[in-house]
Chain A
C-alpha cells in the first residue's frame, strides 16, 4: 500500500499545470456528486415501468460484469499509473501493480456510466421503501466484486498469453465463447439465458435490503464482499504469476519479419503506409481496434437494436477509436520523429498522412460497428434512418478527428504503445479526453437519432454537412499551428524523448 501511495503522489506531482490539477480535483469531487445524482434520479423517476426495470436489472448487472472483464482484457491487465519502462529500475511489487490497475479502473467512461446506471437502477427498484441504503451497499459490493474479479481474470489471461500454448488456449476459449453467443442468438435463446443470469441473486439481495429483510440481505451482501476479498488476493497472485512468466509474446512480435512491398504513390502515401503499419503492429492499438469495432456492434445486434437507437453505437465507437492513438497521433513516430523531421519535405505532409490514417481508422471503426449492429435489425432502413446512420458516422468521425488533431498538437506526449497496457496519455488525461469525446459524440448521436425518428433524410444530410464543415474549419485551424517550426520542434522533441 505504501508503494501505491508513493506512486500516486508521484503521478500527482507530475501534473505540472495548476489548471489541470484543479480540473482533476474537480473531476474527482464530481464522482460522489454524480453518484448522488444517479440515486436521486432513481428515486424521482416515474414509477410506471417499475416492474420492467426490476426484471431487466439482472441483465444490467450482468452487462457491467462483462464490461469489467472486457475493459482490463483489452488493456492487457488493466491500465497503469506509469508506463512500465519508467518503473523498470524500481522494485515495484506485483501487489502494487495489481492495486494500481484497480485504482485506475474507474478512469474509464464506460465503467463510470455503467456503474452510475447500476446505482440508479438499485435506487429505482427500491423506490420509497426504507432500505435504500442497504440496497446501495449491495450494489457497491457487487461493483467492487466484478471490478476486482475482472482485473484478476485479465491478469490470468495476460499470464497465459505469455506462451504459444497459452495463446492457443486463450484463442480457443474466445472462439468457444463467440460460438456459444452466436448459437444462443440464432436459437433465440437470449431471453432464456438472461432469465438465468447469475446476477439475479444480487438484485434479489438488493431488494431484500430494500425491504429491510436484514438477515437475507446480510447473507447475500457478505457473500459478495467475501468473494471480492478472495478475488483481490487471487488477482494479486495472478498478477504476480503473469509478471513472473518470462514471456515470448513481445519478443515474438518484435522479431517477426514484415516483407515490404515496393511503395507506390507519392510521399503522403509513403508516410501514411508507415503510420498504418505503426498502428497495426502495436499490440494495444490492434487489440483495441478489434474490440472496439466488433464488440459494441455485436452487443447492439444481440440487443436487437432498431435503426433509430443504432445511430448512437457508431457515435460512441468513433470516440473510442480516437482515444486509441488519435489524442496523441504524433507518438506513432516515437524516436523516429527527429529523423523524420530531418528529411526534406513540406511539413504539412506529415500531418496530412497522420490525419488520413486517423480519419480512416475512426470512420472504418464507426462503419463496421454500424454494420455489425444492424445485422439483426428487423426491417430494412428507411431513407431517413440510413441517412441518419451514415451521417452520424461521417459527422462523428469528422468531429473526433478535428478534436484529436487539436489535442495532439496542443498536448504531445512521449508514448511507446509497445506493451498491451500502454496508452497514448496518462490515465487521468485519458479520462478527460474520453469524457470530452464521448459527450460530444453522444450528443451528435442523439441528434441524428432524433432526425431518424422524425424521418427527415434531408435533415440528416444537412446536419452532416453542417457538423463536417465546422469540424473541417477547426481541423484547418489546428493544422495551421503545425506550420510554426518552433511548435513542430517542440512536438518532435516531446514525442521522441525518453
Chain B
C-alpha cells in the first residue's frame, strides 16, 4: 500500500541554520507516527513542510502521492494541520474559523453539524462565538485540533496538540486521532509528552539535528522502562 506521508532526503535550511537535514519518513494509511526529539530537532519544521506552509530547500515531500512542492494546493486539500503555536486568527471566533475553513476547502453543507459536534466534544460549543484572543492556551490548542479534523483529512498533522490541554481535552484529541486512523488517515503527531504520544501512535521516530536518529514501537516506550529508552534515544 502506498504511503500517505513520505519524505525523501528532505532538507530545510534558514540561511546557515539547517533545521531539517535529509529526513526520510514514511507513514502508511491508518498508521500514526509520533515525532519526538529535543527543542530544535526539526519536528515542527517537518510538519510545516508537510502542511505546505514552508517550501523545502531540497528533497521531496509527498502527501497522498502528491508532491507538496509541485502541487501545494492539492496536497493541502488532503491535510489537516494543527500548528505548534497560535494557529488562530486572534479576532475571529471559532465558528468564523470553521466557516472560513469550510469555504476554502469547499466542504458540503453537512459540515455545520460535524463542526458543532466537534466543538461539543472539545467543550468549545459555549465559546463558539467568542474571539479567540480571549481564549486560554489550552482552549486554543483544542480549537486547532477541531480545525484540523473538520474535513476528515487523509493526513492529520498535529504539532504539540496536548500542550497545555487538560485531561479531558487530551482524551478528546486521542479519540479523534483514533477515529482518523480507523477511517484510513495517516497521522503524524509531534509532542514532548511521551505517554500521550505512545497512546496516540504506534511508532515513535526520534529526531536530532533535523535527522532521524532512532525509532521504536510505541509499546517499547511505555512506562518507566520506556522513559529510559526514550531518554537514551534523545541523548
Contact = CB atoms under 8 A, between A and B. Distances in A.
Contacts of A254: 130-131, 133-134
Interface string A78-121: 00000000000000000000000000000000000000000000
Contacts of A333: 89
B150 to A, nearest CB: 11
Interface in A225-259: 251, 253-259
B103 A336 contact: no
Interface stretch (B27-35, B76-84, B211-219, B226-234): B76-84
Nearest to A273: B96
B72 interface: yes
Given A278-B91, A342-B81, A492 B130 contact: no
B101 A343 contact: yes
A216 interface: no
B73 A485 contact: no
Interface residues of A, number: 44
Interface hub of A253, A262, A270, A486 (most chain B Cβ within 10 A) = A270
A342 B131 contact: no
Contacts of A262: 99
B191 interface: no
Interface stretch (B48-56, B162-170, B194-202): B48-56
Report the interface size class on chain B: 35 or more
Contacts of B104: 267, 270-271, 343-345, 349
A339 B144 contact: yes
Contacts of A278: 89-92
B81 A339 contact: yes
Interface string A314-358: 000000000000000000111110111111111001000000000
A253 B93 CA distance: 13
B87 interface: yes
Contacts of B101: 343
B18 interface: no
B78 to A, nearest CB: 9
Nearest to B80: A342
A256 B52 CA distance: 34
Interface string B91-121: 1110111011101110000000000000000
B95 A342 contact: no
Contacts of B182: none
Interface of A: 251, 253-260, 262-263, 266-267, 270-271, 273-274, 277-278, 281-282, 332-336, 338-346, 349, 416, 418, 485-486, 489, 492-493, 496
Sorted from nearest, which 6 A-B pairs have the closest CB atoms? A335-B86, A254-B134, A336-B89, A344-B76, A281-B91, A344-B77
